[in-house]
Structure 1
Amino acid sequence: MSLINLFSRLSFRSSVVCPLGSRSFYTDKYLPFWTTPCLLAEPLKKKKRIDPAIIKAREERRKKRLEKQIRRLEKNARQLKPIEECEIPLVLINEKKERQRQVGTINVEELEKRVLLEKKWALYKKEQHLKDLKMLDRIAYSQQKALDELRNVSEELYQEAIQIDFHLIPFESVGPVSTPAIENYDTPDGDYQDISKKWD
């Protein structure tokens, strides 16, 4: 008997079907076993019967508790949250007498002198403001007159003159500051901690 006759009943399966090896021989249909995970379940407990009076009492207590919370919220709703910046610290209240200055009385001549000085200053600022307005009007009139003359000469030059100069935008300037800069000043570096109170 040849080898072909001996193994005629065998079937060839690939490794995709059989996970045991890359190539295996079987004489019967491939029937793998599958197991389910262990759930460790237990039967449900029977619901206990509760007296309807107990259920009603619980609902009443819950209702009263909610009403109490609502009343407390309505009572506190009229109270505004305090602003610490607007409240005077107790330390300053205690030191009020120590910090209070004794201002001397001012005679009539000094009062009149101060009033006249304020009036002169107000008049000076008014004249300065009027001069600035006149100067701006004069500059605007001169500019418009120059543009009109340019338009009479050449329309192309006029259109170029009224275009926006993008080299001036954005404009940045460093103006005068309140205090002069401190040389070799080492700026403090640290974390900012918000210590303000939280109000619910």
Structure 2
Amino acid sequence: MNAAACNTLLHVCRQGSRSCPRWIWRRESHWQSSLLGLRTALPMRAEPKKKKKVDPKREQIVKERMKKKLKKLERIAPELIPIDDFTPSAKLLDESRIREPVQLSGEEQERRALLIKKWAFSKQQEHEVERRSVACLLESQRKALEELRLESEELYDAAVRCDRGVFPLESCGPCNSPPIPKYNPLDGKYNDITKVYTQQ
């Protein structure tokens, strides 16, 4: 095979002709390399990473800006959130809303005073009855424990031991006014108008 024929054959193989034998285009192709040459080819094609040049003056300027921002934030006092619950509405401070005290007659005043005295007397009697009943129960309990101790010391210790199952204890004390029979309390409806503040 002469030189002209070889050049023609290589030219056809480089253009991707399928009639070309594999050993020619494998060896002559610029993008196909042998497995042995793979280890040396890849590192030679890689470019080293370029290091960014850091200007010391620029770094100093950035640090100074951050320091100035921090000083400015320290000078500004934190914004306090107002508490609307302690500030009454302007509508409530209107003088026209002030109601004049109701003028009660002498008979009404006497009736109310007598009613308060009767209520206090009834509550006092209720308290005395309750106190006497509690005292009677405590005395009965003391006598029963004394008799139990004479019978058996073990039973006495078991009776005096603290009962952990009593708690949580729920008790209802006396009320200022008698309960209304068959009263169904309303749940009530309201609109939540609470303001939401964000710290800036």
Relative to the length of structure 1, the TM-score reads 0.47
Question: Which one has more relative contact order, counting CA pairs under 8 Å at least 6 apart?
Answer: 2
Which has the higher Rg, Structure 1 or Structure 2?
Answer: 2
Relative to the length of structure 2, the TM-score reads 0.47
Structure number with higher helix proportion: 2
